[in-house]
């Protein structure tokens, strides 16, 4: 059956991974019989019609639910099946054989219950996440583009690459589970630039930068965090002095946002006399119509 053997093979059958985990948990050996050879396992095949004819057949009432059927099956095993005179056992009751020969050979049950898990194979996307069930889970960035095996249990999701465990997440029903440590180093540095970091860095760059960042963080701080990160990041290219001057001009113009501050720095007008001129002036080759046609020899 596919729940046990995914692909039959006389020498190396492919076992269902969840079924294999259950056998390992209980200390059992999986030894598949040959495909389409019921006589390889007669003691497994023969009880099936016996259970059908003795337990299920001739019942006048239906089971109320699964639990009721299971309880009645246990009763039937104890009172009927295990007490019958079994011909393959020389007319000895199965319960008697179990008590004298098999009970002492059984292993003790594991202390922890078996956790049934599902396995699936997935490819790590460019955003370092793999899809398991209805949720996305991050894996270390080095595995981008590779196929991994994901084990989804009741509580945790484990992700393996070439048989090695590379990531463990708490299981969620849907959504995205991300560990920032799975991003490349440069991305980790970006995510570490929190609102508190932006305020601290702005204080190092100047009072006007501090004022701009404070205004950005005043409302919807997380939504405007990227803009604040961009403002303090301009210091790397233009220097703290120019950035603070550009922030002063943007504040005076009543538009202290990233786009305006960057435009002032690109135009080099952070120290200009005209605070209203916040965008670069027209290129030198653009002229008005009078100057364009005021050429020597031109006919007016």
pLDDT in tens, 8-42: 888 899 999 999 999 999 999 998 888 888 788 88
Task: Answer whether residue 292 shows pLDDT above 70.
Answer: no
Q: What token pair was written down for 170?
A: 């708490």
Residues 221 and 176 in one domain: no
Residue 295: inside a domain: no
Domain finish residue from 133, 161, 185: 185
Average pLDDT over residues 267-295: 55
**133: Cβ contacts below 8 Å, ≥ 6 apart:** 118, 152, 173, 174
Residues 33 and 60 in one domain: no
Residue 275: inside a domain: no
Q: Please identify which residue in the block is written with the tokens 């002036």.
A: 281
Residues 33 and 50 in one domain: no
Residues 181 and 229 in one domain: no
Q: Of 261, 220, 255, which is closest to residue 237 (Cα–Cα)?
A: 261
Domain finish residue from 54, 72, 106: 106
Task: Answer whether residue 68 shows pLDDT above 60.
Answer: yes
pTM exceeding 0.75: no
Residue 20: inside a domain: yes
Average pLDDT over residues 131-153: 95
Q: What is the pLDDT of residues 72-104, one digit of tens each?
A: 999 999 999 999 998 888 899 999 999 999 999
Q: Please give the span between the terminal C-alpha atoms of the chain, in angstroms, as a whole number.
A: 97
Residues 177 and 201 in one domain: no
Domain finish residue from 137, 163, 185: 185
Average pLDDT over residues 209-234: 87
Residue 232: inside a domain: yes
Average pLDDT over residues 126-141: 94
The C-alpha atoms of residue 267 and residue 106 are separated, in whole angstroms, by 84
pLDDT of residue 142: 94
Q: Of 109, 115, 124, which is closest to residue 28 (Cα–Cα)?
A: 109
Residues 181 and 197 in one domain: no
pLDDT of residue 294: 53
Residue 147: inside a domain: yes
Residues 143 and 169 in one domain: yes
Angle at 66 between CA 64 and CA 70, to 5 degrees: 105
Residues 81 and 142 in one domain: no
pLDDT of residue 75: 93
The count of other CB atoms within 10 Å of the CB of residue 78 is 11
Residues 71 and 130 in one domain: no
Q: What token pair was written down for 248?
A: 């002063």
Residues 93 and 128 in one domain: no
Residues 27 and 57 in one domain: no
Give percent of the chain above pLDDT 70.
Answer: 88
Q: Which domain holds residue 234?
A: 193-267
The C-alpha atoms of residue 51 and residue 95 are separated, in whole angstroms, by 16
**50: Cβ contacts below 8 Å, ≥ 6 apart:** 81
Residue 6: inside a domain: yes
Supply the mean pLDDT for the chain: 86
Residue 161: inside a domain: yes
Residues 123 and 177 in one domain: yes
Residue 98: inside a domain: yes
Number of structural domains, the chain? 4
């Amino acid at each position: 059956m596919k729940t046990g053997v995914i692909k039959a093979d006389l020498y190396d059958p492919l076992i269902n991974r969840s079924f294999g985990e259950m056998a390992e948990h209980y200390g059992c050996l999986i030894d598949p019989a040959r495909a389409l050879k019921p006589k390889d396992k007669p003691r497994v095949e023969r009880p099936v019609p016996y259970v059908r004819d003795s337990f299920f057949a001739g019942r006048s009432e239906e089971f109320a639910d699964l639990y009721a059927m299971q309880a009645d099956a246990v009763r039937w095993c104890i009172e009927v099946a295990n007490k019958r005179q079994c011909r393959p056992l020389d007319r000895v009751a199965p319960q008697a054989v179990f008590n004298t020969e098999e009970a002492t050979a059984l292993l003790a049950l594991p202390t922890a219950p078996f956790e049934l898990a599902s396995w699936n194979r997935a490819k790590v996307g460019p955003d370092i996440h793999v899809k398991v069930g209805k949720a996305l889970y991050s894996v270390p960035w080095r595995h981008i583009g590779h196929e991994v095996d994901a084990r989804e249990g009741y509580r945790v999701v484990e992700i393996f690459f070439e048989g090695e465990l590379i990531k463990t997440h708490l299981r969620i029903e849907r959504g995205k589970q991300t560990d920032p440590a799975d991003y490349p180093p440069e991305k980790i540095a970006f995510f570490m630039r929190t609102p508190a970091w932006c305020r601290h860095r702005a204080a190092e760059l100047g009072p006007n930068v501090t004022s701009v960042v404070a205004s950005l963080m005043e409302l919807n701080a997380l939504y405007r965090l990227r803009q604040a990160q961009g403002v303090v990041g301009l210091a790397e290219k233009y220097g703290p002095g120019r950035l603070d001057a550009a922030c002063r001009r943007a504040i005076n113009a009543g538009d202290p946002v990233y786009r305006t501050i960057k435009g002032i720095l690109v135009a080099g007008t952070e120290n200009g006399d005209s605070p209203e001129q916040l965008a670069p002036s027209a290129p030198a080759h653009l002229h008005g119509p009078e100057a364009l046609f005021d050429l020597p020899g031109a006919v007016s």
